[in-house]
Amino acid sequence: MENRQVVSGMRPTGKTHLGHIHGILENWRDLQDEYDCFYFAADWHALTSEYKQTSIIKESLTEMFVDWLSAGLDHQKSTLFVQSWIKEHAELHLLFSMITPLGWLERNPTYKEQQEELGDKEVGTYGFLGYPVLQAADILMYKGNYVPVGRDQVPHLEITREIARRFNYLYREIFPLPEALLAEVPNLVGIDGRKMSNSYDNAIYISDSEEILAAKIGQMITDPQRAYRKDPGDPDVCSVFSFHRIYTEPDVVREIDKECRRAGIGCSDCKKILIKRVKEYLAPIQEKRNYYLTHLGEVEEIIREGTKKARGVAQNTMVEVREVIGI
């Protein structure tokens, strides 16, 4: 039986942070052994918000692949590629745009949210409204069954399924109805307590040195009720504690929980433990990163090879698509 397909993409719009690692990349990595995985840099999607200042896209592109490889993606197992190098994505996007009712796009909650969030970026464009149509093309091009993404992407996935359903109904049933695969880890908070994001300037990057790590964790908000060392704290509302749950051994986490509640441990000592744990977690990733950063030719070759392979699959899909549409 044919293997099932996994497809996912990430926009190259800045540096990789811990939220990317736990929310997405670990999920991608764990799927590699069981599925045919297609992972790509969604540089056209990046353009929907960065069209005025495009340099960030090029600057982030190769480094994003460096980070993926460092986080455990394996080009022997997964196909790693760049969206804009495969023009078939544009053609499928155009064909899908013919059958996508405007209402589906206008009602999309992610669209409305992003429009507000990106306030200063003027995203009242045709391309931005069509963002989920391009995403549907990305996924269905490889007949994706599963799409590992963050929770914010679920409405987009719903539109992909609607488009696939409509296409299958109008022409012939050639596309699967893809499902989102959500990571178990909740959205990671940033050092200011909001969702970790490059645009909030609150992220811990995988490239951060120990000094930077210490400074950032040092700034993190703990339980706001715990004003003094002698005050007992509530780990359930503490950002630092939410990190301990990810990085620290369960028995130590239990100990911290207990000691915090009876003011047995202070926030600064608690943060020191965390700094050490995050540093240990990042050490092997950073070691690989240093290797790839000094062997960029190798990385570029991996991307070229992956793109070639993906293009072959895309070309086959497009032959089928043109045939069933009759154009």
Which residue ranges make up the site for ligand TRP (CB under 6 A)? Answer: 7-11, 42, 45, 135, 138-139, 147, 149, 153, 156
DSSP string, 241-277: HHHHHHHS-HHHHHHHHHHHHTT-S-HHHHHHHHHHH
Supply the minimum distance, in Å, between the C-beta of residue 9 and ligand TRP. 4
Supply the minimum distance, in Å, between the C-beta of residue 81 and ligand TRP. 12
Burial class (CB in 10 A: 0-12, 13-18, 19+), 233: buried
Instruction: Give dist(CA 127, CA 131) in Å, integer.
Output: 6
Of 9 and 266, nearer to ligand TRP (C-beta) is 9
> Can you read off the two tokens belonging to residue 155?
């409405």
Compute the radius of gyration of the chain from its Cα atoms.
22
Supply the minimum distance, in Å, between the C-beta of residue 272 and ligand TRP. 34
Of 163 and 256, nearer to ligand TRP (C-beta) is 163
Of 40 and 205, nearer to ligand TRP (C-beta) is 40
Burial class (CB in 10 A: 0-12, 13-18, 19+), 280: exposed
Burial class (CB in 10 A: 0-12, 13-18, 19+), 255: middle
Of 42 and 69, nearer to ligand TRP (C-beta) is 42
Residue 178: name the closest of 210, 139, 212 by CA.
139
Instruction: Give dist(CA 64, CA 158) in Å, integer.
Output: 27
Of 30 and 323, nearer to ligand TRP (C-beta) is 30
Buried b / exposed e along 46-68 (16+ C-beta atoms within 10 A): bbbbbeeeeebbeebbbbbbbbb
Of 41 and 278, nearer to ligand TRP (C-beta) is 41
Instruction: Give dist(CA 21, CA 123) in Å, integer.
Output: 27
Supply the minimum distance, in Å, between the C-beta of residue 99 and ligand TRP. 19
Supply the minimum distance, in Å, between the C-beta of residue 197 and ligand TRP. 11
Q: How many CA atoms lie within 13 A of 148 on its CB side?
A: 24
Supply the minimum distance, in Å, between the C-beta of residue 201 and ligand TRP. 19
Of 11 and 143, nearer to ligand TRP (C-beta) is 11
Supply the minimum distance, in Å, between the C-beta of residue 107 and ligand TRP. 17
